[in-house]
Amino acid sequence: MRAFVEQEAQHFSQHRKFNELIKSKGYPDLANLEKEMERYYARLDGASLRKRMAYTSGFETMTIGLTRFMVNRRRWLFKDADPRVASLMLWHIVEEAEHKSVAVDVYRAVCPGYPAWVVGLFHGAFHVLWMAIRGARSMLVRDRRFTLASKLRLAGLLASFFITWLPVLIKSLLPGHHPDHIEDPLWVRQWIAEYDDKEGVPLLDTSHDDIPARFA
């Protein structure tokens, strides 16, 4: 649990720096979404332990599908993208795979209860997804690129995400399921092996056709 919190704290601090940079580069509207999320989480802080734990372990379960989507579709998402941005996103999602079972194990040990967990899964997953869509929309509007073409691309991206994510969601909802039953993609295991003796966030080669889990 301590390692999980430390890992998430690292994610927070790196994404904090990234978000500050993005906002300073011409997307100040994102600050409103951040404030909205802060208010939301402040309210959630007052909820029962069961509800907060179900939100966390539900969201963490959903990241397994997100890992699969981002890794399988990495060429489509990140080919020729800024390697610093691609590496930050994929670094985060690999670490989500590393700690995928922690929140579920803690939930089951501290406040077991299947119905509340299912509610938490939908709550956590769709809340974060909804905020991500709004963030993307806000940036496209700012760029004056929220055109029919980009709406269709966004819809295509969401459809592709759901095709990968839904089987994971269905498996996760089966009673007796454990996140460890879902194998990590090979690319994730290669990253973890490659990263073993490295420091900091490594850089991927996004100009490579396959964006392999090898670092510059």
- Of 58, 67, 77, 96, which lies in the binding site for Fe ion, with binding defined by CB under 5 A? 96
Q: Smallest gap, in angstroms, from Cβ of residue 103 to Fe ion?
A: 7
Sign of CA pseudo-dihedral 137, 143, 144, 147? negative
Output DSSP code: residue 98: H
Whole-angstrom CA distances from 129 to 62, 126, 136 are 10, 5, 11
Q: Smallest gap, in angstroms, from Cβ of residue 3 to Fe ion?
A: 11
* Contact range with Fe ion by CB under 5 A, out of 3-11, 66-74, 80-88, 114-122: 3-11
Q: Smallest gap, in angstroms, from Cβ of residue 99 to Fe ion?
A: 6
| Residue 11 binding Fe ion, by CB under 5 A | yes
Tokens of 14: 């790196």
Q: Smallest gap, in angstroms, from Cβ of residue 68 to Fe ion?
A: 15
Residues 6+ apart with CB under 8 A from 17: none
* Contact range with Fe ion by CB under 5 A, out of 7-15, 32-40, 157-165, 171-179: 7-15
Distance between CA 167 and CA 170 in Å, rounded?
5
Output DSSP code: residue 78: H
> For residues 79 and 108, which CB has a smaller minimum distance to Fe ion in the complex?
108
216: buried, middle or exposed (CB in 10 Å: 19+, 13-18, 0-12)? exposed
* Contact range with Fe ion by CB under 5 A, out of 69-77, 93-101, 124-132, 155-163: 93-101
Chain contacts with Fe ion (rule: CB under 5 A): 8, 11, 96
